[in-house]
């Protein structure tokens, strides 16, 4: 079911190098900008709720617009949209560096995030259409490794730039790197792609862009303001209306944004479900682990940064191996191995308490990093193997959107469980936070186990068919 490619090997690796450089830029930015948020808040006198949008803007845009841009890539050309996305990202970063008000900064951060939402879903679609099946896992593994390196180095590089030159330099550095990536993209991705003369589902796109952000906003309000607050319920009502309308529109549209029939393919459904569950379980670590190390174990900020780098570092190291194994073995088997590591890592993390030491924390994060590195490339290869080339764009969008949205949902649930367990006790209280965290991640363990069972079940089904 693969799309046959005639791309010469040299051009394959040139395109991979450019896309990996873009992935490093995008994910390095997440960490570098987050480090600068306290300084930005003080500089503009913004509220914490407002300044958080500088951080989560990219997540919201990816979750909301990935489907729209995935379909647009199928109609207009994935390389064309990737060029446009990287250019917008660099432009937004440059403008953000010279913002004179917080509103301007948020506006230009929105330009960056639209560029991110344009380029990121196109990345894996381009790799899937460029590399044949026997080498696709290797390409996806190196792409995942670039993401891991970006995540691991983002806070460190951002902190160093912030210390030397201030918060504006963080955005300016992203602009300069973005210009370099843009130049490489326009050099490697030459020529025009054929456009398909099909209608774009604007009505479905509007319904989705209303429903998805409203869902994320409602969930964030539930964690912060209470699950019965009128504001949260209002946003969830808007989300329900938008998402239900989106599904109805897609079922009846002549040229739908998303072909709902794709979800009837068992192998694809298994890949998306295991991705969503795995992301929901592992994403809360990025929020909870720093709080745990600070409030319970009293680690220094430098130590917390170094320990947190363990997870993306081992993701970066294990991803290329996962890709090569997925090319030689059954990709679903390799993905199941990754989910097994994630399950074990979450189990160890859920046992951490007030008396835990450096090695135990590092062990849990290492297992999660290895698990993520093994799971992501292999699961992506399994997903792309289940559809034809004409659906690579929308499938790439599904993978980006499902993973991001599920990670946000999982983090919201984990934080809500911690807050419910502490019951008004200060979060800084070591014993209270440790117990609440143990309860929260223990509650997430069955979800990780279910993701593993789904993946193993699909692998055994494929094995029996052969």
Per-residue H/E/C for 332-380: HHHHHHHHHHHHHHHHHHHCCCCCCCHHHHHHHHHHHHHHHHHHHHHHH
Domain-located, residue 57: yes
**4 and 120 fall within a common domain:** yes
* Rounded CA separation 242/236 (Å): 10
**124 and 209 fall within a common domain:** no
The yes-or-no verdict on residue 372 having pLDDT over 80 is: yes
Task: Decide which of 141, 163, 191 is a domain's last residue.
Answer: 191
**How many independent structural domains does the chain possess?**
3
**235 and 103 fall within a common domain:** no
The yes-or-no verdict on residue 341 having pLDDT over 90 is: yes
Domain-located, residue 196: no
**305 and 346 fall within a common domain:** yes
* Rounded CA separation 309/149 (Å): 9
Average pLDDT, the chain: 84
**50 and 147 fall within a common domain:** yes
**122 and 56 fall within a common domain:** yes
Return the pLDDT at 220. 66
**180 and 237 fall within a common domain:** no
Domain-located, residue 176: yes
The average pLDDT across 289-300 equals 81
Considering only CA atoms, which of 398, 410, 120 is closest in space to residue 269? Answer: 398
* Rounded CA separation 189/154 (Å): 27
| φ, ψ dihedrals at 265, nearest 5° | -80, 115
Please write the tens of the pLDDT for every residue from 217-231.
777 666 556 667 787
The yes-or-no verdict on residue 292 having pLDDT over 60 is: yes
Domain-located, residue 297: yes
Please write the tens of the pLDDT for every residue from 226-279.
667 787 788 889 989 988 998 898 888 887 877 777 777 888 888 889 999 999
The three-point CA angle 314-137-130 to 5° equals 125
Please write the tens of the pLDDT for every residue from 15-25.
889 999 998 98
Q: Structural domain of residue 370, as residue ranges?
A: 262-466
Q: What would the two tokens of residue 465 be?
A: 């068919």
The yes-or-no verdict on residue 358 having pLDDT over 90 is: no
Confidence class of residue 46 from pLDDT cuts 50, 70 and 90? Answer: confident
**366 and 385 fall within a common domain:** yes
Domain-located, residue 128: yes
Confidence class of residue 5 from pLDDT cuts 50, 70 and 90? Answer: very low
- Residue 48, Cβ neighbours under 10 Å: how many? 10
Give percent of the chain with pLDDT exceeding 70: 91
Task: Decide which of 210, 238, 256 is a domain's last residue.
Answer: 256
Q: What is the dihedral sign for C-alpha 265, 270, 273, 275?
A: negative
Task: Decide which of 164, 191, 218 is a domain's last residue.
Answer: 191
Helix locations, 6-46, DSSP H: 9-44
* Rounded CA separation 313/414 (Å): 24
| φ, ψ dihedrals at 181, nearest 5° | -65, -40
In order, the DSSP letters of 232-293 are HHHHHHHHHHHHHHHHHHHHH-SS-SS-GGGGG-HHHHHHHHHHHHHHHHHTTHHHHHHHHH
**243 and 152 fall within a common domain:** no
**163 and 31 fall within a common domain:** yes
Please write the tens of the pLDDT for every residue from 94-112.
999 999 999 999 999 999 9
Return the pLDDT at 66. 78
Give the containing element (helix H, strand E) for 403: helix 392-422
Considering only CA atoms, which of 146, 155, 152, 148 is closest in space to residue 32? Answer: 155
Domain-located, residue 436: yes
What lies within 8 Å, CB to CB, of 165 at 6+ separation is none
**119 and 205 fall within a common domain:** no
Domain-located, residue 77: yes
Task: Provide the CATH number for the domain around residue 309.
Answer: 1.20.1250.20
Task: Give the max Cα distance, the chain.
Answer: 63
Domain-located, residue 90: yes
The yes-or-no verdict on residue 2 having pLDDT over 50 is: no
- HEC assignment per residue over 58-118: HHHHHHHHHHHHHHHHHHHCHHHHHHHHHHHHHHHHHHHHCCCCHHHHHHHHHHHHHHHHH
**67 and 120 fall within a common domain:** yes
């Amino acid at each position: 079911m693969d799309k046959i490619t005639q791309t010469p090997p040299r051009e394959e690796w040139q395109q991979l190098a450019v896309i990996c450089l873009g992935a490093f830029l995008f994910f390095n930015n997440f960490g570098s900008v987050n480090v600068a948020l306290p300084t930005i808040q003080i500089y503009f006198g913004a509220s914490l709720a407002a300044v958080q949008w500088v951080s989560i803007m990219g997540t919201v845009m990816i979750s909301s617009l990935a489907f729209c841009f995935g379909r647009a890539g199928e109609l207009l050309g994935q390389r064309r949209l990737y060029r446009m996305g990287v250019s917008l990202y660099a432009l937004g970063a440059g403008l953000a560096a010279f913002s004179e008000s917080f509103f301007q900064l948020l506006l230009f951060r929105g330009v960056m995030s639209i560029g991110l939402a344009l380029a990121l879903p196109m990345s894996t679609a381009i790799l899937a259409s460029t590399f044949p099946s026997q080498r696709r896992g290797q390409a996806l593994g190196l792409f995942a490794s670039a993401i891991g390196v970006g995540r691991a180095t983002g806070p460190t590089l951002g902190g160093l730039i912030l210390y030397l030159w201030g918060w504006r330099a963080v955005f300016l550095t992203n602009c300069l790197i973005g210009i370099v990536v843009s130049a490489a993209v326009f050099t490697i991705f030459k020529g025009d792609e054929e456009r398909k003369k099909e209608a774009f589902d604007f009505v479905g796109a509007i319904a989705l862009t209303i429903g998805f952000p409203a869902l994320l906003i409602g969930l964030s309000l539930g964690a912060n303001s209470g699950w019965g607050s009128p504001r949260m319920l209002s946003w969830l009502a808007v989300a329900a209306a938008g998402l239900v309308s989106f599904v109805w529109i897609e079922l009846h549209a002549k040229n739908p944004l998303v072909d709902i029939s794709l979800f009837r393919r068992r192998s694809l459904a298994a890949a998306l479900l295991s991705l969503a569950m795995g992301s929901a379980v592992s994403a809360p670590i990025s929020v909870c682990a720093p709080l745990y190390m600070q409030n319970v174990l009293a680690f220094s900020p430098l130590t917390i940064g170094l320990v947190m780098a363990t997870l993306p570092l081992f993701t970066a190291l294990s991803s290329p191996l996962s890709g090569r194994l997925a090319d030689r073995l059954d990709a679903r088997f390799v993905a199941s191995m990754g989910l097994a590591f994630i399950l074990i890592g979450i189990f160890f993390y859920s046992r951490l308490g007030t008396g835990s030491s450096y090695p135990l924390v590092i062990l849990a994060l290492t297992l999660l990093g290895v698990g993520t590195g093994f799971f992501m490339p292999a699961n992506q290869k399994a997903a792309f193997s289940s559809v034809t080339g004409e659906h690579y764009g929308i499938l790439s969008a599904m993978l980006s959107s499902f993973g991001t949205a599920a990670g946000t949902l999982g983090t919201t649930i984990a934080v809500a469980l911690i807050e419910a367990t502490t019951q008004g006790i200060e979060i800084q209280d070591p014993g209270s936070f440790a117990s609440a965290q143990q309860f929260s991640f223990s509650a997430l363990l069955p979800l990780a186990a279910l993701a593993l069972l789904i993946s193993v079940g699909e692998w055994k089904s494929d094995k029996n068919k052969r």
